[in-house]
Structure 1
């Protein structure tokens, strides 16, 4: 640092702190939030840290300073041991017998009804236009206006409610279904076993504990930062408990499976790391771009479609239609 100007010295100190935080975030993926929930909050900021470290790396390169090695080294470590933030190339192949699966947090369909002057079709029409064979819906709301026309479905309502819950719609026969009945009133995990030709495929629809973040409001809808961190930490701890419950249930199933839903956490979290273990992430296999699935100015990927390792993902798409605070994700899967 001897050859650096006072400003560059200060910048390098900031750079070092942010590089250390990014490196720490890679390690935190291996530590349950139930142990240190407050540290798990860092997983939400991994994309920010990656971009900032990339900017620092480019800055030092332009100035021909060896300090560029710090950020670049940490980013390379992340590239090797962590999930990609951005995919340059995707896969757009498909077979006639692909299983087309869509996962969508529809936010109770309450944003599906556009103004009369809008020419944009409503969310029901959008789903119908994509014609998924299997549709996993989080934050489901039972309404007479529901136009989802499927021969088979499994709907699990929240306790003391006959309208709100989760749903799995299928063009294929459902031969078994059930619910893990999470303690959280607003969240749950359900499953349905569908029969496709001679294959029985288990579909898990996962909706983990919400962080209750309101992106459009100051301080994300919390009166102060301390309480915000405390609330998010508590949610992460609950997510960890729900993940353990899910993994115990999943372990009992030995056949083909697809795990999809709203994890309310990023691909840099312990939750994702545990659930995606020994699975393929449809975005990583065949996606392109950021895979953004939450309606926020920064690209956040918190909705996933995962398969067992034997599956072939021929295509993965994230859509930008704003019928909910989430964007639907869709994958074409084969074995």
Structure 2
């Protein structure tokens, strides 16, 4: 530090803060939000902290200063535990006779309230799904809109609530649904649903989970105007609800005797407690075959991945894609799976 000039001392101070916060965030998946909800909010900033530390690392490296070791070590620790924030390659898609394609999409009520100004959004969204032709699609923030025709799917299960406008979740399938149900979360419109579908001789349970929303207005002016203490407290309370919902979901899932696929909008990142709990014993399809940052939510500040497709060890992930289409505030994801012999 003595050899650094005044400007670089300031830079290193902020570098130290960013590195400390990132290192601290690595332990957050092991801390239940009910224990320390305010601290758990830091997990949302992990992608941002990774990018900031990468910039600090490059800054010191270009200056040939040993201070680059600080962010370098913290980034390596994160890579060894979480893997890469950015996927550089993806396996070639393999056509297999026993393949199953699964899409997850938070459709934001099919643009019911014209959040997107394009009047053809609903038509384009349905045409997109028809073109990609998933065998199974899992919808969050679903609304049985009069102009939405998904009759090209043979089977469906909907769980809706509300008096004026029915909203909720749905699973559409090209394969027979022999069983279905809902895991109703208390004090919220969010919930989890499931269907058991039959493909040849295999019965597969597909879950569609939608955890408590953080209710963050992503507009810059809205975030800057909101009281930061109130914002953190509100998000912390949402994290507590997410933990309770996760516990209910896992209690139900652990009783299933079928092959399991979990789709959904967790309203939280892959660096969170709820993701760690839900993904335990499952494979994150993006980590196997995804590409890029895997951004699934339209957040301007940094790439945010909160929508997932997780599969148990009966499946191989042959392909995965995040589609950059703006028909909602989320981006659809689709995995191509096959059964292991």
Please classify the TM superposition score into its range, dividing by the shorter chain length. Answer: over 0.9
TM-score (norm 2): 0.93
- Cα distance in 2 for partners of 1:172, 1:252 equals 23
Q: Counterpart of 2:30 in 1: which secondary structure? A: coil
Deviates more, 1:157-166 or 1:141-150: 157-166
Matched with 2:84 is 84
Matched with 2:190 is 187
The answer as to whether partners of 1:100 and 1:330 remain within 8 angstroms in 2 is yes
Asked if residue 281 in structure 1 is aligned to residue 284 in structure 2, the reply is yes
- Cα distance in 2 for partners of 1:169, 1:87 equals 29
- Cα distance in 2 for partners of 1:107, 1:121 equals 14
**Cα shift at 1:185:** 2.8
The answer as to whether partners of 2:110 and 2:122 remain within 8 angstroms in 1 is no
Q: Counterpart of 1:29 in 2: which secondary structure? A: helix
Deviates more, 1:11-20 or 1:205-214: 11-20
Residue in structure 1 matching 2:323, options 306, 319, 322: 319
**5+ unaligned residues in a row in structure 1: which ranges?**
none
Aligned residue pairs, count:
334
**Cα shift at 1:160:** 5.0
- Cα distance in 2 for partners of 1:119, 1:266 equals 27
- Cα distance in 2 for partners of 1:75, 1:54 equals 8
Q: Counterpart of 2:26 in 1: which secondary structure? A: helix
Deviates more, 1:120-129 or 1:154-163: 154-163
Change (3 A) 1:64 1:105: same
**Cα shift at 1:309:** 2.3
Give the root-mean-square deviation of aligned CA atoms.
1.9
Matched with 1:106 is 107
Residue in structure 1 matching 2:135, options 133, 136, 153: 133
**Cα shift at 1:325:** 0.5
Q: Equivalent residues in 2 for 1:1-335 (5 A)?
A: 1-94=1-94, 95-110=96-111, 115=118, 122-149=124-151, 150-158=153-161, 160=163, 163-220=166-223, 223-297=226-300, 298-335=302-339
**5+ unaligned residues in a row in structure 2: which ranges?**
none
- Cα distance in 2 for partners of 1:171, 1:85 equals 34
**Cα shift at 1:253:** 1.1
**Cα shift at 1:115:** 4.2
TM-score (norm 1): 0.95
**Cα shift at 1:176:** 0.7
- Cα distance in 2 for partners of 1:244, 1:222 equals 34
- Cα distance in 2 for partners of 1:22, 1:86 equals 17
